[in-house]
Amino acid sequence: MKLNILSIVFLTTAIGVSSPHAQQIYTWTDENGVMHMSDQAPPQGVEVDDVLKYSEKTPQEQQAIEQKIEQQRQRLDRQNRIDAAQRAELEARRAEEKARQARAKAEEELRTNQEYVRQLSTRRWKRRKFKKRIERIKIETEASLAEAEAVEQQAAEAAREARQAAAAAGETQ
């Protein structure tokens, strides 16, 4: 029985101490320059720097705070989507530029190889002698052009996706 009474007294004391109704928080600096914060008054002879009073928020105030937090989170999410769309657009432009460079390189290689094949095939005996080399050059040139076209298609697809993402991010603003 005595234990039950002590338990009840302890619980009511703990609840009373921990309730945040109009509590005060004291701030002071001791002689060593260390800043202290406590819900208990500082020792005698110490100058109090600041006293903060805490009072519990009303349900309306708490709801208003939660609404502000939600609005800020939504703005942050929207900005993150916009940033992601801009990064995707930048990557798409880089991919398009890389595709243009690959295409230009392939076309230059094509012209060079055509000139080389033309030189190798000016005479009938040269065409017979360099037949395998000419065929290998043609195959390599076609493969290079096909690769450049594949890179162009990938870049075009990336650009299309980036523009869709940018449009979607623009709609959410």
Residue span of the structural domain in which 42 resides: 2-56
* The token pair that represents 125 in the structure block: 């005996």
Q: Are residues 72 and 155 in the same domain?
A: yes
In this prediction, residues 79-102 reach a mean pLDDT of 85
Predicted local confidence at residue 172, as pLDDT:
55
**155 lies in the same domain as 113:** yes
In a shared domain, residues 116 and 47: no
Residues 135 and 76 in one domain: yes
The DSSP secondary structure of 60-109, one letter per residue, reads: HHHHHHHHHHHHHHHHHHHHHHHHHHHHHHHHHHHHHHHHHHHHHHHHHH
Domain co-membership, 65 together with 137 = yes
Q: Are 11 and 89 in the same domain?
A: no
Residue 72 identity (one-letter amino acid): Q
> 145 with 118, same domain?
yes
> Do 153 and 126 fall into the same domain?
yes
Residues 84 and 127 in one domain: yes
Positive or negative, the CA dihedral 71, 74, 80, 84 is negative
Largest CA distance in the chain: 120
At 20, the pLDDT band (50, 70, 90 cuts) reads: very low
Looking at residue 22, what is its pLDDT? 53
Report angle CA 113, 114, 120 to the nearest 5 degrees: 85
Total number of domains constituting the chain: 2
Let me know whether 68 and 143 are in one domain: yes
Which of 36, 56, 76 represents a domain boundary (last residue)? 56
pLDDT value at 97 more than 80:
yes
Indicate whether 98 and 23 sit together in one domain.
Answer: no
Q: What percent of the chain has pLDDT above 70?
A: 84
Lowest pLDDT segment from 18-27, 48-57, 110-119, 137-146 = 18-27
CA distances from 66 to 19, 21, 62, 167 (A): 22, 20, 6, 30
- Please tell me whether residues 89 and 7 are part of one structural domain: no
10, 31, 56 - which closes a domain: 56
